[in-house]
Structure 1
Amino acid sequence: MRALIQRVAEAEVKVAGESIGSIGPGLLVLVCAMQGDPDDTPAKLAARVAKLRIFRDEADKMNRSVADIGGSVLVVSQFTLAADTRTGNRPGFSTAEAPARGEVLYLRFAQSLRDLGLPVATGRFGADMKVSLVNDGPVTIWMDSADRA
């Protein structure tokens, strides 16, 4: 799985003009299941995201996790994180997981964050979504489960 994590002051996702998920301070996580992701990948990635220390402490150092600050997480599926841009001008997405399994892994990721005690809002898998955010910092982190042993 791939995740693009943004520290936010607030974030919201809308479908057809209707707000379906919003958070205050916390993380916006854009996530993509990749072909070959094992069944345990969502829980492992969720644990890494939950422990990621990118929030400021009293010394103004990035030393606190989203749980430490009492923040929330907005999880939005984004298959375009699988983009292959090595050739040509049109990205390819053949390494993204098939939609049916991709949705299962996406939902498991969101549930794994909930199981860790985090408040989680979500987008709608496969929908045309409008995501708005106020990036805090800005702080943006890339994670790929394939990069970790």
Structure 2
Amino acid sequence: VELLTDNGYILTIGSFGAFGYKVEPKIGLELLPQDENSYQIRTIPIPNHVSPGYELDFQASQTLVEVPAREYFQEHQLESQSIPSAITRVEWHLDLSVDMWFPKAIRKLPQSLIQRTGNGILQQVVRQVSRRLTHKVQEDFHNSNGLPIPKQSQQRQNLR
């Protein structure tokens, strides 16, 4: 993540590809000012950047919801020695549009194969963006409230 403006970031999502065709998507995202416990994120242009073979439009909201900790730990069958009275859960809503332009050689492949492969790549992109933005929002939330950032549970680390 690279700082673009006060609330804007350039996010390099990673390198993705199939059939010898690779892209390293970048997207400019602006984190709008917090409205209660809700954050809105939208696409912004990256100056002097031409997207090679793709176009992304990202509109998202993240809402931080306080949940009674005991209820959460019981629901997810987790154990903890010291449980705080409440924890914060992040609820996501994402509207993502992705357009890709493929070379002629790839367009000769069966449409179903291209679609399946594209869906798999899209899932990877969403997972990467979700993980990175959730971390950034949690970090901003904890820092702005003077709270320590909790260490991730071992179970969460294993999911990455």
TM-score of the pair, normalised by structure 1: 0.24
**Higher relative contact order structure (alpha carbons within 8 Å, sequence separation ≥ 6):** 1
Higher helix share: 2
